[in-house]
């Protein structure tokens, strides 16, 4: 790989943010923090009176999560409850406790229903009261097209309902090593990424019966 190619790969990896687990110990599905934050940020943006300026996802209790049932993507966090930390500006004149409570409810609902992300804590910091809300920041661009590999695992993943396409943000779309298969993909709306990931794991396991295990990394949630 050239120096430019290596630098681009590092930038892509850093742009994904943390790789957080969806579901629980047995699910074997991860999502990039960038993709999860885009979904949660859209839920927050639908609320009147507040403008989210920062949203981060981290383990609620670092070090307490159990290992996953299948090998995790490199540097991925272990399954377990997550903490969502939000910074926002708010329109003056609206009671802040009401605004914060509505934001927490919206984020918890989106995490559960849109992502399958277990969230136990939501920290909200109001950094300013303003007369006019700023324009929401642009969301991350969708990943560029990746060569779609021709293999039994790739075909099984691509034909699973809810899969928009395979991606190559962390590595090849289908990575196989030591009997383990990792599939990287973008999910299509309105499908829940956790449910998509579970279905892909089942489909790939059937298509490649000699695989010891299958994991899924969702790098984009439509």
What band does 92 get if pLDDT is binned at 50, 70 and 90? Answer: confident
Cα–Cα distance measured from residue 140 to residue 37, given in angstroms and rounded to the nearest whole number: 10
Phi and psi at 150, nearest 5°, equal -100, 100
Given a cut of 90, is residue 147 above it in pLDDT?
no
Same domain, 115 and 203: no
From 130, 155, 187, give the residue that closes a domain. Answer: 130
Same domain, 96 and 161: no
Q: How many domains does the chain have?
A: 2
What band does 132 get if pLDDT is binned at 50, 70 and 90? Answer: confident
The more confidently predicted of residues 134 and 48 is: 48
Q: Is residue 200 part of a domain?
A: yes
What is the reported pTM?
0.89
**Structural domain for 189, as ranges:** 141-221
Given a cut of 60, is residue 10 above it in pLDDT?
no
Same domain, 168 and 124: no
Cα–Cα distance measured from residue 200 to residue 22, given in angstroms and rounded to the nearest whole number: 14
Q: Which residues contact 72 (CB under 8 A, 6 or more apart)?
A: 19, 21, 30, 78, 215
Cα–Cα distance measured from residue 22 to residue 218, given in angstroms and rounded to the nearest whole number: 10
């Amino acid at each position: 790989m050239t120096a430019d190619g290596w630098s681009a790969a590092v930038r892509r990896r850093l742009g994904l943010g943390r790789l957080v687990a969806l579901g629980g110990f047995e699910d074997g599905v991860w999502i990039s923090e960038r993709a999860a934050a885009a979904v949660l940020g859209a839920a927050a943006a639908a609320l009147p009176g507040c403008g989210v300026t920062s949203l981060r996802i981290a383990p609620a209790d670092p070090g307490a999560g159990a290992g996953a049932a299948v090998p995790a993507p490199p540097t991925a966090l272990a399954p377990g409850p997550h903490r969502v930390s939000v910074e926002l500006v708010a329109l003056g004149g609206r009671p802040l406790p009401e605004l914060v409570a509505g934001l927490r409810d919206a984020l918890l609902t989106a995490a559960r229903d849109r992502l399958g992300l277990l969230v136990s804590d939501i920290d909200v910091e109001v950094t300013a009261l303003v007369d006019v809300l700023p324009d929401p920041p642009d969301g991350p661009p969708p990943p560029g097209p990746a060569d779609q590999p021709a293999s039994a695992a790739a075909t099984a993943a691509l034909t699973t309902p809810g899969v928009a396409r395979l991606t190559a943000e962390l590595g090849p779309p289908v990575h196989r090593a030591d009997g383990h298969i990792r599939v990287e993909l973008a999910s299509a709306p309105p499908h829940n990424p956790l449910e998509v990931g579970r279905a892909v794991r089942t489909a790939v396991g059937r298509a490649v019966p000699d695989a010891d295990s299958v994991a899924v990394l969702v790098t984009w949630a439509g």
